[in-house]
């Protein structure tokens, strides 16, 4: 399930439920005063797929496969044991078929899956149905999109939503599934839903906040399936495994599977990691949910307290610091910068977390623009834009480009600013949706300019 609280749309309004790259800063707040921003180190780490040791891969695979997002343990591995076909239904947006074909093609090429588009008029293993967001919200208020087993339509899901039929824990083998996606959303959100929900319809049902280079993480920093995710799917469908195997049986087969699929990971030292308490998930959902103000700040501090108590130094500590920084933007900009800077340091030291750093850089660039430091804003944007493009997060890239364009105007580089605005427009249209939405986002970014928002 892709959670609505973590949609990668880059909304800039306060109290929104979309935090992955949100800037929440009130006009006329203390944020209009100059604040000390960190200096960027020279150079930038190349965006590459990190090497995972096989001991860590085995642990991550078992945690993803045998536990659900709710914390409920699963007793057996389940998967499709026959070729998988996928079809679209409902009010299908214009670009959806092409987006689906691309992700199916990637799954064939990178994960070796026997998956294809269903022939017109034929039944499909997985049906992706589009419905108005309000209909989906009534069924799953915190979900942007979600997948359900053993049904092929939303109507069928509504009839059986409380039955054992739609209980993942009751499955012994996957045969049918339905994915429900909002029809009234941006092309990027449609694509992101395809990537995450298809991966969960086919493979693991859990998400782990400790992962960096994966969509199997409810922080939603990664927009599309990564090499790590494709490897997880390849393991899931290894011929050595089959539906009905217990965790112990799967664990016994993993060393040979991983030696074959990830030979470079043989013998690499294992790291220490756990799933963590459910209180952490509750705190994250509260922090990035619809509430705002002091309640959001308090839950962000709770996230950080749990991270410290658990001794985490991984992506969960970075997310907690990011949350604290975001929650302080309208109250104490200097405290926000301090927390965001520390989040940036944590992420910069984690393999595969370049896109996380880019999200933090977007926040810092926005603060720099808001506080009259345009050259700092340009530096943060220049650092993050290539990463955002590489990770195919075009809403993030567009936001960074628009922030940079306003900063260029502030430094007298009007021709460069005008050119960057034009370059950002198609990315913004893809990331934000309609022209109306795009113009609204552009206006919100313009309002960050210290000349207008101060």
pLDDT band at 25 (very low <50, low <70, confident <90, very high): very low
Residue 64 sits in the same domain as residue 45:
no
The torsion angles phi and psi of 126, rounded to 5 degrees, stand at -125, 125
**Predicted TM-score of the model (pTM):** 0.90
Q: Does residue 271 lie within any of the structural domains?
A: no
pLDDT band at 33 (very low <50, low <70, confident <90, very high): low
pLDDT at 281 over 70: yes
Q: What is the pLDDT of residue 4?
A: 54
In sequence order, what are the residues at sequence separation of 6 or more whose Cβ sits closer than 8 angstroms to the Cβ of residue 198? Answer: 86, 103, 104, 107, 126, 179
Q: What CATH number is given to the structural domain containing 342? A: 1.25.40.10
Nearest-Å Rg of the Cα atoms of the chain is 22
pLDDT at 18 over 80: no
Residue 259 sits in the same domain as residue 146:
yes
Q: What is the pLDDT of residue 71?
A: 80
Query: Domain boundary residue among 223, 239, 265?
Result: 265
Q: Does residue 270 lie within any of the structural domains?
A: no
Q: Is 83 exposed, middle or buried (0-12, 13-18, 19+ CB in 10 A)?
A: exposed
Query: Domain boundary residue among 221, 241, 265?
Result: 265
Domains identified in the chain, total number: 2
Structural domain of residue 405, as residue ranges?
2-49+277-453
Query: Domain boundary residue among 234, 265, 296?
Result: 265
Residue 292 sits in the same domain as residue 441:
yes
Token pair, residue 339, equals 């927390």
DSSP secondary-structure letter at 6? G
Residue 37 sits in the same domain as residue 124:
no
Worst-scoring range by mean pLDDT, 28-42, 129-143, 305-319, 421-435?
A: 28-42
């Amino acid at each position: 399930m892709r959670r609505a609280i973590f949609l990668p749309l880059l909304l800039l309004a306060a109290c929104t439920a979309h935090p992955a790259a949100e800037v929440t800063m009130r006009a006329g707040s203390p944020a209009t005063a100059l604040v000390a921003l960190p200096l960027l180190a020279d150079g930038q780490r190349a965006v590459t797929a990190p090497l995972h040791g096989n001991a860590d891969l085995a642990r991550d695979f078992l945690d993803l496969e045998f536990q659900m997002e709710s914390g409920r343990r699963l007793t057996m591995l389940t998967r499709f044991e026959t070729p998988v076909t996928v079809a679209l239904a409902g009010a299908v947006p214009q670009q959806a078929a092409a987006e689906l074909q691309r992700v199916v093609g990637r799954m064939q090429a990178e994960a070796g899956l026997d998956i294809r588009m269903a022939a017109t008029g034929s039944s499909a293993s997985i049906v992706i149905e589009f419905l108005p967001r309000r209909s989906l919200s009534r069924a799953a208020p915190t979900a942007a999109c979600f997948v359900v087993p053993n049904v092929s339509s939303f109507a069928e899901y509504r009839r059986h939503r409380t039955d054992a039929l739609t209980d993942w824990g009751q499955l012994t083998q996957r045969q049918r599934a339905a994915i429900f996606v909002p029809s009234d959303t941006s092309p990027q959100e449609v694509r992101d839903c395809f990537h995450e929900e298809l991966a969960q319809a086919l493979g693991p049902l859990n998400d782990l906040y400790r992962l960096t280079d994966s969509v199997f993480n409810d922080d939603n920093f990664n927009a599309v399936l990564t090499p790590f995710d494709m490897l997880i799917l390849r393991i899931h469908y290894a011929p050595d495994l089959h539906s009905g195997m217990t965790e112990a049986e799967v664990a016994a087969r993993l060393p040979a599977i991983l030696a074959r699929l990830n030979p470079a990971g043989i013998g690499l030292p294992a790291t220490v990691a756990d799933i963590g308490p459910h209180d952490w998930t509750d705190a994250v959902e509260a922090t990035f949910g619809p509430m705002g103000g002091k309640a959001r700040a308090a839950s962000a501090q709770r996230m950080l307290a749990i991270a410290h108590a658990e001794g985490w130094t991984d992506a969960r500590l970075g997310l907690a610091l990011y949350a604290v920084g975001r929650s302080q933007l309208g109250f104490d900009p200097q405290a926000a910068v301090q927390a965001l800077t520390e989040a940036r340091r944590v992420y910069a030291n984690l393999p595969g977390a370049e896109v996380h750093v880019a999200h933090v850089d977007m926040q810092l660039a926005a603060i720099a623009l808001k506080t009259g430091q345009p050259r700092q804003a340009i530096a943060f944007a220049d650092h993050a834009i290539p990463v955002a493009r590489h990770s195919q997060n075009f809403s993030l890239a567009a936001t960074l480009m628009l922030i940079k364009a306003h900063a260029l105007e502030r430094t007298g580089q009007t021709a460069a600013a005008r050119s960057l605005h034009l370059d950002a427009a198609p990315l913004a249209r893809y990331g934000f949706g309609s022209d109306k939405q795009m113009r609204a986002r552009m206006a919100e970014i313009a309002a960050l300019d210290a000349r207008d928002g101060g």
